[in-house]
Amino acid sequence: MTLPRRCLLAALLATLAVPAFAQGYPAKPIRVLVPFPAGGGTDIIAREVTNKLSATLGWSFVVENKPGSGGNLGVDAAAKAAADGYTLALGQTSNLAINPTLYRKMPYDPVKDLAPVGLVASAPLVMVVAAHSPYKTLADVVAASKAHPASINFASPGNGTVAHLAGELFQKTAGVKFTHVPYKGTAQAATDLIGGQVQLYMSSVPTLIGHIRNGKMRAIAVTSLNRVDDLPQVPTVAESGFKGFEAATWFGFVAPAAVPKDIVARLNGEINKALQRADVKKKLNDQGAEVLGGTPEQFAALIKSDIARWAPVIKESGATLD
């Protein structure tokens, strides 16, 4: 082989050995699938993080809301997308840790078909009633339900969501029975609570904090062990007489399983940097979310542990979906 040909081959091999991100990733817009409707907590968090990445790095993102099947539709689309780093989804507890037990048939396996990229935040749930509701406290709701079982319509963003299962867990803990009314997302549930069609609603703090602040909803309890900084006047469920009760939802970016590890590492690093910026922390904290971050491996471990955690709750509740 002549020297020029050797040099050409060496240059080609060196190019192939260079990590994908070093060759100019991203070279086009990154599609981010949000598996719930616009305006919900998942959507708010996805847009805040991608907006910061755009502003600091000059990267381009296209956020696409793809709701349906408890979040399965959007996450499945990400799992089946080309594994080139140009399609991500912002998954959360329900579609990554709950749905594998809840659904008889899952279109994807969150452990085998997805690559955890970066854990973003967690948020407790908040129990709310309409501003005009006669119920002022969680004790009022419990007393009314015990006096008239199943008389209180309890709304959740959907069957098998963290809010639904936390509600099931609370009913068992408190010895009460609500009538569960599942919605496809958060917007209509909020409208119906305010309008009086349902009496109790539970969803993530980022989803409902705006309604609480504008006075349309009254928060009666949060599901974290400690009070939420932006809702300091709202007691925890544990404080309200149900010691040890805790439930929260977390959010994190995932990609198709076969996406190159160097791209995952680049995305993870930039996401973690964005989460450490004071303005991003403040924005997420203002929405009632706690910034997390961490490695892809830590995120993978969380998914596996929460699948095991929620499985018995789902089975005991009898909830199942096709």
Reading the chain (322 residues) residue by residue, the pLDDT tens digits are: 444 444 444 444 444 444 545 468 999 999 999 998 888 888 989 999 999 999 999 999 999 999 988 889 999 999 999 999 999 999 999 899 999 999 989 999 999 999 999 999 998 899 999 999 999 999 999 999 999 999 999 999 887 788 989 999 899 999 999 999 998 878 899 999 999 999 999 998 888 999 999 999 999 999 998 898 889 999 999 999 999 998 888 999 999 999 999 999 999 999 999 999 999 999 888 877 889 999 999 999 999 999 998 898 888 877 787 6
Distance CA 99, CA 175 (A): 26
**Mean pLDDT of the residues in the chain:** 90
**Percent of the chain as helix, strand, coil, to the nearest 5:** 45, 20, 35
pLDDT in tens, 127-179: 999 999 999 999 999 999 999 999 999 999 887 788 989 999 899 999 999 99
Shared fold status for 28-122+250-317 and 124-222 = yes
- Would you state the torsion angle of the CA atoms of residues 256, 62, 20, 298, taken in this order, to the nearest 10 degrees? -50
Question: Residue 307's pLDDT is what?
Answer: 95
Half-sphere exposure of 180 (CA within 13 A, CB side): 20
Please name the residue that has the structure tokens 């594994």. 83
Question: Residue 15's pLDDT is what?
Answer: 44
Question: Residue 175's pLDDT is what?
Answer: 95
- Would you state the torsion angle of the CA atoms of residues 49, 53, 54, 58, taken in this order, to the nearest 10 degrees? 180
Question: Residue 23's pLDDT is what?
Answer: 65
Assign domain 124-222 to a CATH class: alpha beta
pLDDT in tens, 169-221: 899 999 999 999 998 878 899 999 999 999 999 998 888 999 999 999 999 99
What percent of the chain has a predicted confidence (pLDDT) above 70? Answer: 93
Question: Residue 99's pLDDT is what?
Answer: 92
Question: Residue 280's pLDDT is what?
Answer: 94
Q: Which CATH number fits domain 28-122+250-317: 3.40.50.300, 3.10.20.30, 3.40.190.150, 3.60.20.10?
A: 3.40.190.150
Q: What are 160's strand-pairing partners?
A: none
Q: Tokens in use for 155? A: 């709304």
Please name the residue that has the structure tokens 């709950």. 98
Domain boundaries along the sequence of the chain? 28-122+250-317, 124-222
